Structure 1
Amino acid sequence: MEFIDHLDHLVLTCVDLQATRHFYTEVMQLRLETFGEGRIAFRFGNQKINVHVKGAEFEPKAHLPVPGALDLCFLAAVPLDDVVAHLKRCDWPIIGGPVQRTGATQKIRSVYVRDPDLNLIEISELLN
């Protein structure tokens, strides 16, 4: 029996908070959330990405929190062609795709970008 239902949040460690905030709110269009004692997160659906700044992490933290070590895949709420058009309007470089991949539940079509800390960000649409 599986006892894990879904991911609630993950923590991203960044170097430049303003650049990270711009990418995730403007380019990725996630909602900015402030919580706790001035901490920030980026919310989408029922999940969020909490943010730590390198050298000023909150405890407890990962054993080796480093910027640029994440490889994240997001499912888009709009067609991937709309995502590509938005990325172009934002002048954010696409480093790969669109390509077909295998997602957690079915085949997906994806494009790849990097965030300001060089984390790999995959943005995908489900395929029939």
Structure 2
Amino acid sequence: MQIDRLDHLVLTVQDMSATIDFYSQVLGMQAVTFGEGRNALVFGQQKINLHPAECPIAPHAAHPVPGSADLCFIAQGDIHELLAHLRNCGVALEAGPVLRTGAAGPITSVYFRDPDGNLLEVSIYDSGIKR
């Protein structure tokens, strides 16, 4: 067996509406409802399933809690456009832009938090920043 790619991951969230609004507005993900009223965020060929903290959907992680994730997303475009967009959305940066190494090579990353305190890294390959 060889793993091909990540299909979806699950975030445990305190406030479903705040999470959906944040990921939709700031990261441009599409909110979808599936199954029996479950919520998810879709982007590219992946999705993030959202579990409410007060009643996570079984099966679930051993200790699901909001704010325990550290996620990296790859964006298209220019790092300066990304910074301007985050600024326009009122997002406070934790760090960046900084040079990092992604799964496929060098990236330029910025870090910020979602409404639950999860650390989000948004990165761009080939950003044109001198290494």
Q: TM-score range by the shorter chain?
A: over 0.9
Asked whether 1:111 is paired with 2:110, we answer: yes
Distance (whole Å) between structure 2 residues aligned to residue 18 and residue 40 of structure 1: 10
Give the superposition deviation at 1:33.
1.1
3-state SS in 2 of match to 1:99: strand
The residue that corresponds to 2:8 in the other structure is 9
Distance (whole Å) between structure 2 residues aligned to residue 53 and residue 11 of structure 1: 10
Give the superposition deviation at 1:81.
1.4
State TM-score, norm by structure 2: 0.93
The residue that corresponds to 1:76 in the other structure is 75
Count of aligned pairs: 127
Q: Which amino acid aligns with 1:99?
A: V
Return 5+ residue gaps in structure 1 as ranges.
Answer: none
Distance (whole Å) between structure 1 residues aligned to residue 70 and residue 31 of structure 2: 21
Q: Deviations over 1:19-45 (max 9, x none)?
A: 111110011110111100111111110
**Deviation >2 Å, runs of 4+:** none
Q: Which amino acid aligns with 1:59?
A: A
Asked whether 1:53 is paired with 2:52, we answer: yes
Distance (whole Å) between structure 1 residues aligned to residue 77 and residue 23 of structure 2: 17
The residue that corresponds to 1:89 in the other structure is 88
